[in-house]
Structure 1
Amino acid sequence: MILFYLLKVTACTILFFGFYVLVLQKLTFFKINRFYLLVTLLLSFVIPALQFEIKHEVVTLDTDPVANLSEVKMAEKPSQLIQSLAVEHQPETKPEIDWLSLVPFAYGAITLVLLLICIWRLFGLIKYTGNYTESDEGLKLINKTAGFTNCSFFNYVFIDGDKLGDADLAVLLKHELVHARQYHSIDKIILMVFKSVLWFNPIVYLYDKALEQVHEYEADEFTSAAYGSEAYASLLLKLAIAKSDMPLIHNFVKSPIKARIKMLFSSKSPDKKKNAYLLMLPMVLMLLWVFAVKSVYAVRQIRVENTSQKGLAETGQSLLNDNGTIEKHLMAGSVKNIKKRNVVPGNQGAVEFHGFKNSKESARPVKPRIISFTKITGDIKEKVSFMENAVIDIVDCRLNAKYVQLDEPNHKMIAKNAVLKTKDGNSLTASVIVFDLKNGNFNATPDNGKAADPKKPGLERQLKNALLAQPVNETDAKVEYRAKDSVKMSKDKSIVYLFGDAMVIYNGIKLNGSKITYNKTNNTFLANGATVSSNKIDGLIKADSIYLDLKTSKATLFGENF
């Protein structure tokens, strides 16, 4: 976006000009100072426009939490809103004016007006150049008694002959000859354009004054060498009362007289101080690294199916394609007011459930009716959608699930962390329910057929109390993290992946794991092979996976023991 680019340009100008004021301004290398000001102003525009990529890749081994879901095709394109589902069920929103989108147009309009003013001033100056007399040095002299006088624009010199004697006129022409031969007027035009583009940046106006001062120092140095510093200083004081509001010209006494006279009698800087200009290189490299170098983190995961299905150990994990790039990221959310009334015992497989006809004799297609959800993503072309915190009616039952994947072409619907209720009050609670919409059957996975560990609610409650000890402030949440092998990030740097002996510390809670996924936007953590310790927790908590939500202070443990 153009506004972010201009902010980066502004940051570059601040650093470059700050170095000039602190180190270079008092040096008498006027030509080099002029070069520094022009080049750094140009670099301020170039550096943010450059883009260099540094690619990182890491290969990790990961297990698929639900083996029997592999036949369901995942979307192979970036997630997008499923309009066919969202239009009917999402609340209506009134159109609002996007004021932020109008900012670039406002900026462009102001810049255009300022550029037109520059052109108008340039033509206003050129209209005085019709009648002139040429000097032996090639200067075109124009007699002008009102407005801007005793100044120059390229080789045109505007003089007030009635107020200048022959001696004073010779000194002035020598001074303006330096401006003409060094093409200082080109610098003035360049600065006018830069000021029009960066009109909101106060540093560019300081650049203009500094460059004009360097021009005058350079011209003063040549002129005083020919006529003497004392005589030249006297002429400056004599004409000091003259002023001009024309920004394109070089007025003989426009630049601060005190600073110019002081510089006339200052000793020359020793050549060894030219080494100070070499400090510009580290600044350029630093700005290139900050604004032009972009790190691209790609995670390549090798999936190994886990037939034992250890619950939702990988809930909230990123879905990756064969190239290792992130396709989707469904972060776990909070489920409110849902009670798990019945945990169905037994082995994984088809479950007879009163109220949902799944016998082969009565096999028939069924169509789910979506009641509500908090978020939906997916692929319109493939007709695959992903819903969070969904409520769906199917046959004579109501399904409440944290995650639902609806695959229309394959007639599959998969619900995770689900509760299926009938009208007569019966319910089935399972970690995964797979619906065959074509035949009207479903399979339920009730936590590998094991009853929940009675210690789990108490441990999760301890974790929640530890998180609540200091409620998270989303604006300045302080989270420390590190990893032995590598720390990777998503393209927008909102998701951090920690690999190998990873650790996260927050509010006295220490979370360790072989792999930890940290979502900065949602303030959530998902750790594999995890342990948690804290002075507010009794002992060390171990689990196959641990999920922490700092916003809701929710903690969930996953694994064979839970």
Structure 2
Amino acid sequence: MEWLIYLLKVTVCTVLFFGFYLLFLRKLTFFKINRFYLLGTLLLSFIIPVVQFEIKRETVVTEIQNSVNVGEIKPFNSVQPILPEYDGQAKPEINWSEQIYGAYVAVASLLLLICLWRLFNLLKYTGKYTKNGSGLKLISKSVGFTNCSFFNYVFINEYNISQSDMAVLLKHEEVHARQFHSADKMMLMIFKSILWFNPVIYLYDKVLEQVHEYEADEITSNGFGNQAYANLLLKLAISKSDMPLIHNFVKNPVKERIKMLFHSKSKNMKKLMYLLALPVVAGLFWLFAVQVVYANKLAGLKHGGLLVQEGKILFTDINSIRNIPGETLSSGKIDKTTSALYKTAQVKSNKEVLTDTVKPKPVKPRIISYRKLRGDVKTKTYYIENAVIDIVNCRLEAGYVEFDQANNKILARNATLKTLDRKSTIKSALFTFDLNSGTYSAENNEAKTGGNIHDAERKKDLLIKLNDKVDYAAKDSVKISRDKLIVSLFGNAMLSYNEVKLSGSKIVYNKKDNRVLVNDATMTSGDTKIKADSLVFDIKTKKTKLFGADFNH
């Protein structure tokens, strides 16, 4: 329904712009400026909802220097999408979005066809004409629409008008032709077809035609006099035409036109009133075209830890995209976006704490929106059109998605994969996601890249980096080196890594080599508890060196 939202935004713009015209500009005698205001604001009404500006505002995240009592923080799990089951007896539901769109297009197309038909009926009279000295093409016509013009074609009834009145009328129609007023009417016919449901667009058409006549009346009366020109308007008032594409000499209300002829001219200082429209334009741009994006700016920790932002306690984890080393996408190697597709692995028992094997937890996607979804219950395969899906820290936007729930794989075509902070984006004709391992591959016409690595040793190292989670806190103080690579915790220091928990009087966490040094150390994992004078824990290898250990606990 994005098309409907767009048209509603256009409608709001036209209402506000036209309301401003009625309040401030309608009685001004700057007819040419009023004409361009009406046309310009109509075009702006269609442009403003299309243009998109993004303003980024950062919210600062600072470190906690003192210990804070925090309850148990459970890892966030994405919600498994609820997918429909196929029922052979079920009747297809009515897609109201498509029905409304079809009705709108049908009405708009009909109105455009009517406009073209009227244009055809008008142009069929233009085969024979007489050209005068001013470049007007005079067409003699005694019935139907007469004493009117379409561009430089003037349809005139020569039998009921004197030569003096003819000169005035031709001068009036010459102004219409030279100012291209008929082009404005053609534009309004298109706008009315698109916004046929918007009553304000018909008011725009009426007021714009009125401004055309005021402009032509003003220029013509300067050469013939207001009184003589007003008498001619009254004389020809009885001959009117309903052809919407032409400018009839007396089609608009004669009373209003005569009043405007004798209306005092607006002072030039009143042109400043047009500047009052600028706040309206700015407000609509801010309302419909500007999007404010809030991004977290980390003032301290990058690899995890206890943080506070605007009085709220936050935890970061090591699989933040900004912290995983990787090379650029153009090189055909791993992009930083790859890291976001891995889920934090949880160690199941104390026996696995110091092992070299880490199995990633399957990723659970979360469907945000889609246009159409159908599925096969037997194969557990689902087909989604115009899908938006969150996969851990990334958002997938694809024209077509095949979700193989049985094998936990996703195939996305014509898709864009971007991080939720919008700092990394990959576009590809084909994405393949293995949700069991948390990896993906992206294929383009020129190359293939992704997060799948066939080398077992390199893959193991990558998974260690991507799946670790480190949280820590200290009672006395937390100090971080300038390069943010060394974190020192003093006084009842605590550091947790998956199910491994370390505590001691002092903890030094070196993020560069992924080692943790603990003094007066206690290490727990499940039911296992070890005390030592000091220990060194290697996050990469999951191995620990103990000094002065007490193995009785």
Q: TM-score range by the shorter chain?
A: 0.5 to 0.7
Aligned to 1:253, what secondary structure does the other structure show? coil
* Matching residue of 1:438: none
Alignment match of 2:220 (pick from 209, 219, 223): 223
Whether contact under 8 Å (1:65, 1:314) holds in the other structure is no
Distance in 1, matches of 2:318 and 2:96, equals: 35
Structure-2 change in CA distance of 1:58 and 1:249 (3 Å): same
Question: Structure 2 matches for 1:346-357, cutoff 5 A?
Answer: none
Whether contact under 8 Å (1:175, 1:220) holds in the other structure is yes
The answer to whether the aligner puts 1:153 opposite 2:150 as a matched pair is yes
Distance in 2, matches of 1:271 and 1:58, equals: 49
Question: Structure 2 matches for 1:398-547, cutoff 5 A?
Answer: none
Which one-letter code corresponds to 1:11 in the other structure? Answer: V
Distance in 2, matches of 1:314 and 1:143, equals: 84
The answer to whether the aligner puts 1:9 opposite 2:6 as a matched pair is no
* Matching residue of 2:475: none
Which one-letter code corresponds to 1:322 in the other structure? Answer: I
Distance in 2, matches of 1:260 and 1:171, equals: 16
Which one-letter code corresponds to 2:201 in the other structure? Answer: V
The answer to whether the aligner puts 1:21 opposite 2:31 as a matched pair is no
Distance in 1, matches of 2:133 and 2:437, equals: 89
Identical amino acids, percent of aligned pairs? 57
Q: State the shift of 1:98 in Å.
A: 2.0
The answer to whether the aligner puts 1:247 opposite 2:248 as a matched pair is no
Whether contact under 8 Å (2:136, 2:154) holds in the other structure is yes
Q: Deviations over 1:86-112 (max 9, x none)?
A: 759x9x976411212322222122112
Distance in 1, matches of 2:27 and 2:319, equals: 58
Alignment match of 1:120 (pick from 111, 117, 122): 117
Whether contact under 8 Å (1:57, 1:300) holds in the other structure is yes
Alignment match of 1:271 (pick from 251, 257, 268): 268
Question: Structure 2 matches for 1:122-201, cutoff 5 A?
Answer: 122-201=119-198
Q: Deviations over 1:415-474 (max 9, x none)?
A: xxxxxxxxxxxxxxxxxxxxxxxxxxxxxxxxxxxxxxxxxxxxxxxxxxxxxxxxxxxx
Q: Deviations over 1:250-283 (max 9, x none)?
A: 0000011111000001111110000001111111
Distance in 2, matches of 1:319 and 1:282, equals: 47
Distance in 1, matches of 2:90 and 2:294, equals: 36
Q: State the shift of 1:295 in Å.
A: 1.1
* Matching residue of 1:81: 81
Distance in 1, matches of 2:20 and 2:127, equals: 43
| Structure 2 portions without partners, runs of 5+ | 307-311, 324-336, 342-347, 351-388, 393-402, 410-434, 439-553
Whether contact under 8 Å (1:154, 1:185) holds in the other structure is yes
* Matching residue of 2:421: none
Which one-letter code corresponds to 1:8 in the other structure? Answer: K
Question: Structure 2 matches for 1:221-370, cutoff 5 A?
Answer: 221-299=218-296, 321-322=320-321
Which one-letter code corresponds to 2:134 in the other structure? Answer: E
Distance in 2, matches of 1:265 and 1:377, equals: 67
Whether contact under 8 Å (2:130, 2:137) holds in the other structure is yes
Structure-2 change in CA distance of 1:135 and 1:97 (3 Å): same
* Matching residue of 2:31: 30
Which one-letter code corresponds to 1:18 in the other structure? Answer: G
* Matching residue of 1:103: 100
Distance in 1, matches of 2:391 and 2:81, equals: 6
Q: Deviations over 1:377-407 (max 9, x none)?
A: 978789889xxxxxxxxxxxxxxxxxxxxx9
Which one-letter code corresponds to 2:234 in the other structure? Answer: L
* Matching residue of 1:466: none
Whether contact under 8 Å (1:10, 1:44) holds in the other structure is yes
Aligned to 1:53, what secondary structure does the other structure show? strand
* Matching residue of 1:55: 56
Q: State the shift of 1:116 in Å.
A: 1.6
Which one-letter code corresponds to 2:225 in the other structure? Answer: G
The answer to whether the aligner puts 1:214 opposite 2:214 as a matched pair is no
Aligned to 1:254, what secondary structure does the other structure show? coil
Aligned to 2:56, what secondary structure does the other structure show? strand
The TM-score, its normalising length taken from structure 1, stands at 0.52
| Structure 1 portions without partners, runs of 5+ | 307-312, 329-348, 352-375, 386-406, 411-562
Structure-2 change in CA distance of 1:408 and 1:214 (3 Å): closer
* Matching residue of 1:44: 45
Distance in 2, matches of 1:257 and 1:198, equals: 29
Structure-2 change in CA distance of 1:225 and 1:322 (3 Å): same
Distance in 1, matches of 2:150 and 2:234, equals: 22
Aligned to 2:42, what secondary structure does the other structure show? helix
Q: Deviations over 1:320-347 (max 9, x none)?
A: 953699x99xxxxxxxxxxxxxxxxxxx
Which one-letter code corresponds to 1:203 in the other structure? Answer: V
The TM-score, its normalising length taken from structure 2, stands at 0.53
Whether contact under 8 Å (1:80, 1:377) holds in the other structure is no
Distance in 1, matches of 2:288 and 2:161, equals: 53
Structure-2 change in CA distance of 1:133 and 1:350 (3 Å): closer
Structure-2 change in CA distance of 1:206 and 1:304 (3 Å): same
Whether contact under 8 Å (2:304, 2:317) holds in the other structure is no
Distance in 2, matches of 1:408 and 1:193, equals: 54
Distance in 2, matches of 1:220 and 1:194, equals: 26
Q: Deviations over 1:502-524 (max 9, x none)?
A: xxxxxxxxxxxxxxxxxxxxxxx
Whether contact under 8 Å (1:378, 1:384) holds in the other structure is no
Distance in 2, matches of 1:128 and 1:319, equals: 78
Q: Deviations over 1:315-370 (max 9, x none)?
A: 9x999953699x99xxxxxxxxxxxxxxxxxxxx989xxxxxxxxxxxxxxxxxxx
Which one-letter code corresponds to 1:160 in the other structure? Answer: N
Structure-2 change in CA distance of 1:377 and 1:148 (3 Å): closer
Distance in 2, matches of 1:264 and 1:87, equals: 73
Which one-letter code corresponds to 1:152 in the other structure? Answer: S
Structure-2 change in CA distance of 1:51 and 1:350 (3 Å): closer
Which one-letter code corresponds to 1:276 in the other structure? Answer: M
Whether contact under 8 Å (1:28, 1:268) holds in the other structure is yes
Which one-letter code corresponds to 2:265 in the other structure? Answer: K
Aligned to 2:161, what secondary structure does the other structure show? coil
RMSD value, Cα: 4.1
Aligned length: 330
Structure-2 change in CA distance of 1:80 and 1:199 (3 Å): farther
Structure-2 change in CA distance of 1:256 and 1:81 (3 Å): same
